Each structure stands twice: as C-alpha cells, then as structure tokens.
Amino acid sequence: MTLAPSEVLAVVARYYQITPEVLVDARRTHRHPQVFRARCVAARLLRVTLSMSYQEIARVLGRRDHTTASNYVHMGQVIGPRALQELCMQLFKNATPPVEP
C-alpha cells in the first residue's frame, strides 16, 4: 500500500475538521491552536509513514525551511499521540502501521 502526502493531509484535515488548504497555507494567517496541532500531527505522520525528509515535509506544508518541519515533527509526538494512533489506523485500515524509530 502506497500513500501520497495528499492522502495524509486529507485524513489529518478531516480529523481536525479543517481543510487541507489551511494545513498548507504559507501565508501564516492560520495560527489557531487547532491548525498548529494539525500541522504538527501531519508532519509527524509524513515523517513516520512516508519516511519523508524534513525538507520534503516543509515543501508539502508550504513552509520555507526544514527547521520548521523538524519542530513540527517533534511537537507532533508530544501534543498528538492519541491523534497519531487514530490517524494511523485510518490510513492503514487493513495493514500494519509502521513502527516509529
């Protein structure tokens, strides 16, 4: 089963009841805590499920550099462990979710 980044973003957006466009908005106008949590969880899922580099995650999320993506990935583990588990289950309905490093 191969996932695309857009599929991960769509599942995260649906879970947090926002649009995928808000997740990738580079204008930095969406600073609501719910959007921040969604971006962090999305970054963590992109890193774990697709083994994307921080630079690739930054590009997917509309950010300028990899340090922001790195922070998102680390925060995603801290602020959204339950969301990560539930979203992995949705992404891998009939498959075993990847093991985190």
Domain spans of the chain, in order of start: 5-91
Residue-level pLDDT at 31:
72
Residue-level pLDDT at 23:
86
> What burial class does residue 30 get, using C-beta atoms within 10 Å of its C-beta: 0-12 exposed, 13-18 middle, 19+ buried?
middle
Residue the block writes with tokens 């890193």: 47
Residue-level pLDDT at 79:
76
Residue-level pLDDT at 63:
81
Q: Do 23 and 1 touch, CB atoms closer than 8 A?
A: no
Q: Do 96 and 88 touch, CB atoms closer than 8 A?
A: no
Give average pLDDT by consecutive 10-residue segment, the chain, 101 residues: 85 92 75 85 91 93 83 80 83 61 53
What CATH number was assigned to the domain covering residues 5-91?
1.10.1750.10
Residue-level pLDDT at 25:
81
Residue-level pLDDT at 64:
77
